[in-house]
Each structure stands twice: as structure tokens, then as C-alpha cells.
Amino acid sequence: LTPSRKTLPAKLQKMRPTKRRRTNEAGDSDSEKEVEAQSCSEKLADLLQEHRSLREAGRHIPSFNVSIADSLAAFGAMPCLAPWRKDVDDGEDDEDEDEEGDEKEKKKDQAAQKSAANELTERVLCASGSGSNGTLYVAQRSVPLDLLTEFDLPGNQSFGAVWTLERPAEEPLLQEAEPLADKTADPMATLRAALAASQSASKVVSDHRFVVMGGESATMVLETTEEIEETTKHISFDSKSKTLTAGTVLGGRLAVQVTPRQVRFMRAFRSRGSDFPPALDLKAHFGLSSPASSASVLEPFVAISFEDGSLRLLAITDESDKPYIELSSKLAQDWASDVLTVSLFRTPSGGVYLVTLQAAAQGTMRLVDLKTMTEIFLAKHVLDFPPIIRNHLRCEGAHLDHLRSLTDLGAALPKATVERAKKEEEGWKDEEEKLDSKTGASTRSELSIETVALELFNVDGDDVGPTLALLRVGRPLILYRSFLAPAPTKGHEEDHVLPFYFSIVEHDFGNLIEHQPPGSYRAVAEMRNPNGTPAGAVVLPPHAGIPGLWLAAKRNQLYIHPLSGTKVVGFSQLRAACCGGTMGYFALCAQDGSTSIAAQVQTPSQVASLAPEGTSQGAVAFDLQWPIPVARHSLKRTPHLMASRPGDSLVAIAVSETVLESPPGPGDEDNDPLAEDWSIVRKPPVEYSPPPMPRAQPRFELWIDDAKNLSKLGRYRFTFDLNEHVLCMQWLTLPGFPSPSLVVGTGVNTGEDLTCRGRILIFSTHDHDPGILPAIYQRALKWPVTVVGQWGNYFIHSEGSKLYFERWENNAFAKLAFFDASMCVTAMSSIKSFLLLGDLRRGLDFVQWKEDKESNTRNLRRLSRSPPTGFLTVLACDFLVCGKSLGLVALDHNGTANLYQYTPHSDGREGDQLLRSCATFFMGYPCRAVARLNAGAGQQSLLMASGGGELLCLKPINDQVYRTVATLAGMLSTRLPYRAGLNPRGMRIPDGAPALVAPRKNIEDGSNLRTFTFLSAPLQAQLAEKMRLPEEAIMKVI
């Protein structure tokens, strides 16, 4: 906020008061006046100054200028929604006129299946904002990536992990470290020197030189130059073994490969040389018979866990005679035993933590600071997926966190639950002391089969703390976000512990992990900016069939987006010349219908059509720090309506800007085409004086352009009259007009005492140069036009409460049929020969269009209507398709979705002439924009844009699935504690007039149902036992 002054209009300024000239009184001499003026000079100066300030105050008003310093990632109210244009590759959808009907239907089915399979890659256009903040968005549910190149990998190896190795820095980074000349020095001193060097190396980002791909029993190394190709010469990595992990140390000069039997080294900056340490045989060096099961490389450490549960830790040095230091002896015995998986994590300050997951106590998570070799975090029951993970070293009562519900973490636990947990703890302690090695090995083996990975990583440089990924068979990808722990209690201020706790994050991607990875596997791929700061991360599933998750964050807010498709099994960031000078990614994707893997080089997708004209930037990139990936384009106007035609890449949008009201001109009535209609009220019955200041009101404009170049949106434009509002528009292919043409319906509302009028206008850019686009057809009406559409060759539009079917004949539209609605038609949708009409106050009308060519008769017949139990203002309506079932959806002004069904037989209360009420679901905000999308074979769902900036989806399911879902929703709402005692299911019940029958609940809240997926294991088991279904079966249904 900055202070400013605004000048008032001249007629509102306080006029300077006029003074009457003062006359001299008798007896006053000139000398006396001069003395008086001199004595009052100081007071007069103050009085003049005060007078000037008062005069300025009458001319100006104090105000403030508001400028946007920063904004939150939110859409705002979205009044319009439309599908994005089709890509060039989708040209096979164009049908040939000579094709048979069966062939056309077959192609339509194939297109529907393809659309359902690629539903994550569908893009939509939406707009929001007001005035100068009006913005057009191109949104996509998954992360938009463009394919740069693709090549097949050998089919006999199922490659499933990829690592990209950076080039070394130009200058040696170890020169800042402590000297290592003294070979007898304490290993910890050498370790501190290596840590100092790694801290400097972590701040340097260089291009990648090698790409390492691991398979079931093979490893392939690619070299990146201007091209990317396989290299085997002078490569010391083991190409015939599975790679557990790979990375670089010593500032990128030394590459490390860890296999189940060996640790191999290779000089990354001089690959043709042989001056690298020899391979380290794990069995001979450590004296272990079991192979390695997991490993992690993070400069300067290499951590390895084995199948027998042991753990070994190495530190890599730059000494030729002692290339590594074994630090396993520095770890406590209970830290390095019974280990399921191990990883390493680097803090923003440069420290390195050892992260282990042990089988004890149903999954014990430990964090060890490798600089001081101290334990800083301990948590048990991690494999029970508690909603919050707290440090058992500091927090009392943390051992009961796995029994809490994420719906209310502060709810008191039942006494019986606490006592049962105590008995379990005591039983585990007794088992650890008394169980023989055979039983203990079987217990650990069962957990090791189910446990996939546990990793700690950074997502964004502004985050409070790290993010935790936990993967286990039978569960989806589980993520935890850190938050600051409470201040330590008195007496524990000096304790060196992790200052964070972790809370689980719910997301929409609940696909279950089915089995362990068949070969090499990398759970988390971190991204980095050119300056070395975190730039997101990708969490990958251990097998195909589950979408990987791209994580981005801003202001400590996590945003989760799926990768395109469910075939990505390996992913890594790639900075190399082969990416075309931009940031790229290397991905491994499973092939459809085969076991082979394809390698892809991808780059971030951009929308070239949104690039501002005259700027150096060639395209607008998608912003991943939003609820869904979006590319933005500023409209500088308020958007109201949008219509697109994806097949022809055409977009039309109605916008408005605020202008001051102007009095009507003297010739306006002479130019009125309806001047002779006496029923139109043009003058108000009451005289009124104009306001002292002109009122602000919107002036509508129509912008039309090609979707391939939205940056020039508005080259074709049309400006409407001052009081004329655009109420509807649609792209149609009408006979007698260029194909396609845009039909616009408007309304003119100048007050409740005057007649509300409207117009129908048809526009086409065919054979027109950019500029002001005139209407090729227009017709003035004495009713507002609220809906327009097309059925076959007939033009459909509304005039107030009437709906007309018209046909173009003899250069004019001839009316063929009409339908009388209740009050005013506000929305319309069609499927085959059925129409769904929404009314201003009377709900829905389900209408059928019939045409008999033999008798040359046409009619519109109402089949049914919504029950007249109360007023229902419909803002939007559409059909919901599930096989042979047809649902009728009405979205009202209260933010409620009303679901109806037509049945030809009546039960005395519903059916026949009254639609059967199936469900009412309160969404929270009203929705004005809705789009019907293919959701699979024989299914169509609804995508809705709300006034609260939300995108919602209403998807049909079969009866069997719904029964399970409804039972689960009831269990969740009655058996789980919720914050403040609120009922999430009851919140979705709207307030309104009583229905003719008991309200039905055929719509369930998906965001509430997904809570079961992220509940802790004990709570899941309790609910599943009550439902008499296994937990895995319930989660698959969700």
C-alpha cells in the first residue's frame, strides 16, 4: 500500500467562498492600518497556510495505491470451462464421409477407449479473475512432458532404474578440505575433511555425462554428448549384475556402482584412464555370506544393507592407497542390525544423515548424524503408517501414534486401546529376548518382502524440512511432510535431535503396490536448479501400472501431480547437450503388450500459443507449483463465457471491461428494429434524476481466434452495446453458413421496469481479415436468449421461457417447433434425441424431440420434470452415462448437485411425469461450467468448475462398487473421530424443502473415502473386520 491523492470531479469540489469587499470604517487612518498589519503578520501567515490546506482537502481525497507483491496459487471463481484443441497426431479421428456406419461406430469406440486411457493427458481451457487480473489457463492433470527422442532397449533385460551422473567441476573441490597427509590420523578427522569437501560439491551443478540403467541381471551405461549412445569401452562398471544404486563422489570425479556382490569405481572425468580404485568384493571384505539388498551413495558416503539385516558404511577418500574408510564400527550395534532398507540424506546446511528402517517393533525408523555419529531421531511402528511420526527420543506418548486417526490427531484414545498397546509392547520385548534366531529371521523376512523403500529428500529450498517417502506392498505411495517440533522441555535443550516431526499427506492416487521390483529400483529421483537448490522430486512405483508422482512445493505447500500414463518405471533429471539446450529428463517406460522397455529423453512441455508477441520467450511453460499444472495467459479483462471447437482449433471467449455509463443517444430509438412493437416498455414509469457520478458497468466484447496462437487472442473482435450482456454461445455447423460458425445469444437488462430484450448473432472468421468482425447474421428479440444449440440441421435457441427449433430456409430461419418451459431456460444439454432443460426456478425438464419424415410432423414432448417440492434454480445441467443407465444432473445456485433418473413407470410419487430423485450432494460452491468427458468404454463423467476455484469430477460407478463405498462411508463417519465432532458425510446433505420421498444417498464424497487408504494399519484392520472384507479389497475398490 502506498498513499496517494485523488482529485474529485470539478462539480464535487468545495468551491472557494466568495468574500464581500471590506470598506474602511470612519476614523481609521492609514498609519493605524499599517501598524495592525505588522502585528498580525505571523498570525496571518498561519491562517493562510490553514486556508490552503482546507482548500486542498476540498479538492482532493486521500487514498492508497495497491500493488500486488505476491499471490497465492489459486484459480478463483471459474465461470467458464472448455476442452483444449486436439493435437495434430489425433487426426485419425476425422471420419470419411464414404465410410459405413459400423466402421464409424468402431472408430468412435476406439477413440473413446484411447481418450479414457489417456485421461491424465487431456487438457482443458478455463478462465477466472476480474478486470486486469483476468487470466486464461491451459490445465492438464498430469505433468506435461514432450518426447524428444525414444529408442528400444534389449528385450531380455527388464530395466527398471536409471541414474544420471554429473561431470566433475572445473576446479578441484577438495582443495578446501583439510590436508590428508597423515595416514595415521583419526578416521573421523578424514571424515570431517570429506564432509567439508562434499558441502562445497553439493552447491555446484554441472551437466550429466553418463546415464546408468539397471535391470534384473544387467547394467547398461550411456554417454551423453550431442547424442546419447551406449558406451562399453573403458567402463569399469559391472554390466552383468543388477545395480542397486549409482552415484558420484569426490566432486563428481569418481563414479560408484553398488551391486549385490561388489562396489565398483570409475573415474568420471577421465574414463579412458585406469587410475581408479579396484572393485570392492563385499563378501571377502566384510565376511558376509548374504548379498546386498539396498544401498545409497551420497558424497562422501556409501551405505549398504544386506539380506541378513546387517549394515555397512563406507566413506570415499581421494587417497590412492586408501580409497575408502570403513565406518561401520562407529555405528551402535542396534543401529546396524535387522535393517530392511537404508538411504542417505543431505541437509541444506551440508550435513549427511543415515536413514534406516529396521524390522523391530513393526518398523523402526532411525536417523543418525554421520558428522557426530549420534542418533537424532527414532520412531517405531512406521510400517503401521501412523498419521504422525514423532521422535521417541523426545516426545512422550509417541509410541501410540499408530493408533491415532488422521481425521483427528488430538482425540483421546480409548482406555482399552491403550492397554492393548502396552501389552503388545511388553510382548515384543519378551520376544526379542526369548525368540530363537529362526523365528526372528522369519519375522524379518516377512517384513523385507513387503517393504520396498524408505527415503528422506528435499522438495523445495523454502520448505520447513524434508519430505519422507515410504513404500510397502499392499499400500499406495505414502508421503510424509515435516513440520517443526515443539521446543524441547527443560533439561533437554542441549540434546542433539532432529527438530522435525512428520505428518502423512493425503493425495488422489491410491493405486496399490502389488509386489517388489523385479530388478533394479530407484524410489526417489531428486531435481535440482542450476544454482543447486532443490527443484522438486519424483517418487516412482516399483512396477508398471501405477503412475509416478511428481512433487513440487511453494511456501511449504506440497503439490502432487502424476506422471503421464502408468508405464514409467525409471526417471531421472538430465542436463546434457542432447536435450537441446534445455532441462531434460531420462525415463524408462514399459511397452504395451510386451516385457520390453523403451528409453525416452523428455523435455518440459510448453504452450507456444500462449507466448506473448514480441517477447524473447518462445513459449509459456506449465507451472507445477499449482494444484494442477497450468500455463497462464493474461487477458486484462473479466472472462464470462468460453466456447471451443477442438477439431478445428477454434476458441471464442466473451470478456468485459468496466466503463462509465453514458446517456442514450438521440437516435437510438430510430435505429431500433423493434421500434413498432408496442409491448416493449422503453421508458420507466417513474421519473428519476441521474446520479451525481456516472455508474460503472461492464461492456462486453467477443474475442475469436485460433487455439494454436492464443497469445494473439482478440485479433477478431466484436464489441456489444453498453447494456448488452453475452448469455450463451456455441460453435455450430448450420446449413447456409460457413462451417463452423459461432452463435451468440445476448440479453439487455436496463432495470426491472423495462423489457429485457436480446439478440442472436452469428459470426465467422472465414474470408475475414483480423480486426473488427461483423456479424454475418443478427436478429433482435424482445426476450433474452439464454441457450443456443444444434440438433442435426436444426438451430435451437431460447426466447425467455420458450425453446424453438428452427431451420434455415430462403435466407431466414423458419420456426418448426417450440416448447413452453416454466419461467426462463437457463441451461441446456442434449444426448441423441433427448434434451435436458434447466429453469430459473422450476428445476429440470426432460424433453424428447420427435420427427416423422413420412407424415412431416415434428414435436417437442416433455417426458418428465423434476419434483415440484420447492424452487430449484439451475445454473448448469448435463447427462451422466454409465452403460445403459442415464443420469440427469442439475447444478443449482446453492452449490448442490441434484441427480435424477427417468423411469417410465410411476410408483404413485415418482416416475413417469416426475423424475426419480436419486441423490443431492452439497459441493460447497455453485458451478456454472460443466463439461462431459469420456471415462472409459460406455461411461461418461462430468468435469465441473466451481465458484470457489475448484475442479470437481462426478464419475459413475456400478451398483456393487457403490454398495461397498456406501458402507465404508458410513463406517468412517461413525467409527472415526473428527475434528470438533463434525460429520463429513452430514456436511454433504443440503438444506432445502422436504422431498416427496426419503432422501437417497447415491453420491459419495471421494475425498472422504480416500481417508481409508491413508489410515494406520490397526484402524484399517478394525474397519475391514466390521465390513468383513480384506483391507486390500477395500482399497482396490476405492
Question: What pLDDT is stored for residue 23 in this prediction?
Answer: 52
Grid cell of 94 as nine digits: 476425422
- The distance of Cα 497 from the centroid of its chain, to the nearest Å, equals 35
> Hey, what amino acid is at 461?
G
> For residue 552, what is its C-alpha cell?
513440487
- In the three-class reduction of DSSP (H, G, I as helix; E, B as strand; rest coil), residue 206 is classed as coil
pLDDT along the chain (1038 residues), means of 10: 73 52 53 57 78 71 79 86 61 42 51 50 89 90 89 82 81 40 53 60 72 90 84 80 90 88 81 67 86 91 91 85 84 88 91 92 91 91 92 84 88 80 65 46 65 92 93 93 82 73 92 89 92 91 90 93 89 86 86 79 83 60 91 91 88 93 62 65 74 84 87 88 92 91 91 85 91 92 93 92 92 92 92 93 93 85 88 93 90 92 84 89 92 84 91 90 91 89 84 70 89 92 91 87
Q: Give the Cα separation of 705 and 653 in Å (integer).
A: 9
> What is residue 184's predicted lDDT score, i.e. its pLDDT?
46
CA distance 745 to 720: 11
Dihedral over alpha carbons 266, 272, 277, 278 (to 10 degrees): 90
201: left (phi over 0), alpha (psi -120 to 50) or beta: alpha
Helix (H) or strand (E) holding 966: helix 959-975
Amino acid at 997: V
Q: Decide: 867 and 996 in contact? Cβ < 8 Å.
A: yes
3-state secondary structure of 528: strand
| Contact criterion met (CB below 8 Å) for 4 and 64 | yes
In 276-374, alpha helices (H): 282-286
CA angle 540, 110, 153 (to 5 degrees): 40
Secondary structure class of 195 (helix, strand, coil): helix
Q: Cα(560)–Cα(537) distance, rounded to whole angstroms?
A: 10
Which residue is associated with the grid cell 581408479? Answer: 276
Q: Where are the alpha helices (DSSP H) in 810-905?
A: none
Q: Give the Cα separation of 1014 and 258 in Å (integer).
A: 34
- Side-chain-side CA neighbours of 430 within 13 Å: the count stands at 6
Alpha helices in 337-436 (DSSP H): 415-434
- Rounded-to-integer distance, Cα 671 and Cα 257, Å: 84
* Residue 189 confidence (pLDDT): 62
For residue 807, the number of C-alpha atoms closer than 13 Å in the C-beta half-sphere is 6
**Residue 210 CB neighbour total at 10 angstroms:** 23
Tell me 1011's DSSP state: G
Count of CB atoms situated within 10 Å of the CB of 407: 19
Q: What is the pLDDT of residues 660-686, one digit of tens each?
A: 887 665 555 556 666 666 667 777 777
Comparing CA positions, the residue from 371, 394, 369, 370 lying closest to residue 379 is 394
Whole-angstrom distance, CA of residue 796 vs CA of residue 794: 6
At which residue does the C-alpha cell 499449482 appear?
626
Nearest to 452 by CA among 363, 374, 346, 354: 363
At 148, phi and psi to the nearest 5? -95, -45
Q: Which three cell numbers stand for residue 317?
A: 577418500
827 burial (CB, 10 Å; 0-12 / 13-18 / 19+) is buried
Q: Which of 816, 882, 896, 881 is nearest to 849 (CA)?
A: 816
- SS3 track for 726-759: EEEEEEECCCCCCCCEEEEEEEECCCCCCCCEEE
Query: Other C-beta atoms within 10 Å of 615: how many?
Result: 9
Spatial separation of the C-alpha atoms in residues 944 and 90, rounded to whole Å: 25
3 state SS for 657-687 = EEEECCCCCCCCCCCCCCCCCCCCCCCCCCC
Buried b (16+ CB within 10 A) or exposed e, 877-912: bbbbbbeeebbbbbbbbbbbbbbbbbeeeeeeebbe
CA distance 442 to 153: 38
Output the pLDDT for position 89.
37
Give the three-class secondary structure for 959.
helix
Exposed, middle or buried by CB within 10 Å (0-12, 13-18, 19+), for 716?
A: buried
Count Cβ atoms below 10 Å from residue 410 Cβ, excluding itself.
Answer: 7
830: nearest Cα among 799, 788, 864, 801: 788
Segment (H or E) for 1027: helix 1017-1027
Q: Which of 353, 583, 580, 609 is nearest to 482 (CA)?
A: 353
Residue 904 C-beta-side C-alpha neighbours within 13 Å: 0
Per the structure block, which three cell numbers stand in for 915? 423424475
- Cα–Cα distance, 608 to 315 (Å, whole number): 48
- The residue among 524, 515, 622 whose CA lies nearest residue 571 is 524
Nearest CA-CA partner of 212 in 222, 225, 201: 222
Q: How many CA atoms are closer than 13 Å to the CA of 948, on its beta-carbon side?
A: 10
Residue matched to cell numbers 421519473: 687
Conformation bin of residue 431: beta by default, left when phi > 0, alpha when psi is -120 to 50: alpha
- What DSSP element (H or E) covers 986? helix 984-987
Q: What is the crossing angle of helices 30-39 and 41-59, to 10°?
A: 70
In 3D space, the residue among 576, 594, 513 whose CA is nearest the CA of residue 549 turns out to be 513
Residue ranges of alpha helices (H) inside 40-174 are 41-59, 101-117
Burial 288-307 (b: 16+ CB within 10 A, else e): beebbbbbbbbbbbbbbbbb
Residue of 72, 73, 48, 253 lying closest to 167 (CA atoms)? 253
Q: Side by side, which strands form the sheet with 777-781?
A: 724-732, 741-748, 757-763, 777-781
**Beta 2-7 vs 777-781: how paired, if at all?**
unpaired
Q: Which residues pair with residue 820 across a beta bridge? A: 802
CB atoms within 10 A of CB 48: 10
Give the C-alpha separation, 210 to 165, whole Å: 5
Q: How many CB atoms lie within 10 A of CB 179?
A: 7
**Closest-CA residue to 929 (of 40, 304, 77):** 77
**Beta pairing class for 364-369 and 467-472:** unpaired
Distance separating alpha carbons of residues 657 and 698, to the nearest angstrom: 5
How much is the pLDDT for 379? 92
